[in-house]
C-alpha cells in the first residue's frame, strides 16, 4: 500500500501537478527606530562636567568638588519637562585643595563618609520657566537623611543628541544633622551646590569640528 501511494506521488510530481516549495526563512527583525517624542538615555561626560560646593566661613569661602560621581539623564528633546535626573557622588572623594579641610569634611562631624559613603540627588518633577530655564523639584540624600530641594537650572541643547545642564541650589546643613561648628572660624549653615553636566545621547558620537579649509 505504501509503495502504491509513493508511486502516485512520484507520478504527480513528474507531471507538474504537485510541487513543493521550500519554507521561506524568516526575515531578520530590524530594530525599530525610536518614535518621535520617545524618551532617550543620555550619558554624562566627565570632561566639561562638575559637581561643586561652596560654604562660607568667617575667614574664607570653602570651595570643593566631588572627584568620583555618576549621573543618569532620561530626556525627550520634544518634552523637556519630562526630564529625569539622578546623581550619586562619593562622599570620600571631596577635594578642596586643603588636606585639613578635606579630612574635616569627610569626618564624622560633617559628611561621615565611612558611614554614609554616598550623597545623591534625584529629580521628582520638572517645571518649564521659559527661555531654556527650568525648575527641578528633587530630593537630596546626605548622611542617610532625605529632604526636598528646589534646583533652578538651564538646559542648552546642541541639536537633539547633546547639550549642557547647569543648576545650583542651597541646603541647610543642620537639616542633615551637621551641627558642628568652630569657635574661631564659624561656618554658615547654608551650603551651595553647583552642578554642571555635559550630556550626550547614548550611541551618538561627538560632533567633529569642521576641517579648516585654509
The reported pLDDT for the residue numbered 199 is 94
Q: What is the pLDDT of residues 91-141, one digit of tens each?
A: 999 999 999 999 999 999 999 999 999 999 999 999 999 888 999 999 999
Percentage of the chain lying above the pLDDT 70 cut: 78
Tell me what the mean pLDDT of segment 59-88 comes to: 93
The reported pLDDT for the residue numbered 11 is 52
The reported pLDDT for the residue numbered 206 is 57
- Tell me which long-range contacts 160-164 makes (C-beta under 8 A, separation of at least 24): 160/77, 160/201, 161/200, 161/201, 161/204, 162/42, 162/198, 162/199, 162/200, 162/201, 162/204, 162/206, 162/207, 163/198, 163/199, 164/48, 164/196, 164/197, 164/198, 164/199
**Dist. CA 105–CA 113, nearest whole Å:** 9
CA 92 to centroid of chain Cα atoms = 21
Percentage of the chain lying above the pLDDT 90 cut: 67
**Dist. CA 23–CA 39, nearest whole Å:** 39
Confidence tier at 8 by pLDDT (50, 70, 90): low
Tell me what the mean pLDDT of segment 25-29 comes to: 41
Q: What is the pLDDT of residues 196-211, one digit of tens each?
A: 999 999 877 655 444 5
Tell me what the mean pLDDT of segment 169-183 comes to: 95
What predicted TM-score, i.e. pTM, was given to this entire model? 0.76
The reported pLDDT for the residue numbered 80 is 87
Question: Which stretch of 60-64, 158-162, 190-194 has the lowest confidence by average pLDDT?
Answer: 158-162
The reported pLDDT for the residue numbered 26 is 41
Amino acid at each position: 500500500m505504501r509503495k502504491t501511494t509513493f508511486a502516485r506521488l512520484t507520478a504527480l510530481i513528474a507531471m507538474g501537478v504537485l510541487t513543493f516549495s521550500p519554507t521561506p526563512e524568516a526575515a531578520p527583525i530590524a530594530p525599530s527606530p525610536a518614535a518621535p517624542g520617545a524618551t532617550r538615555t543620555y550619558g554624562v561626560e566627565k570632561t566639561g562636567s562638575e559637581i561643586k560646593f561652596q560654604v562660607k566661613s568667617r575667614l574664607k569661602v570653602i570651595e570643593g568638588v566631588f572627584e568620583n560621581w555618576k549621573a543618569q539623564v532620561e530626556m525627550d528633546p520634544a518634552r523637556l519637562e519630562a526630564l529625569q535626573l539622578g546623581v550619586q557622588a562619593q562622599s570620600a572623594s571631596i577635594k578642596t585643595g586643603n588636606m585639613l579641610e578635606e579630612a574635616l569634611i569627610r569626618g564624622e562631624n560633617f559628611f561621615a563618609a565611612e558611614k554614609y559613603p554616598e550623597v545623591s540627588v534625584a529629580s521628582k518633577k520638572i517645571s518649564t520657566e521659559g527661555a531654556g530655564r527650568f525648575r527641578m523639584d528633587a530630593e537630596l540624600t546626605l548622611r542617610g537623611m532625605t529632604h526636598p530641594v528646589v534646583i533652578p537650572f538651564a538646559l542648552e541643547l546642541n541639536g537633539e543628541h547633546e547639550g549642557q545642564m547647569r543648576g545650583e541650589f542651597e541646603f541647610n546643613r543642620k537639616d542633615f544633622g551637621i551641627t558642628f561648628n568652630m569657635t574661631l572660624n564659624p561656618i554658615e549653615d547654608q551650603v551651595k551646590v553647583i552642578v554642571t553636566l555635559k550630556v550626550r545621547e547614548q550611541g551618538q558620537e561627538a560632533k567633529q569640528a569642521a576641517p579648516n579649509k585654509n
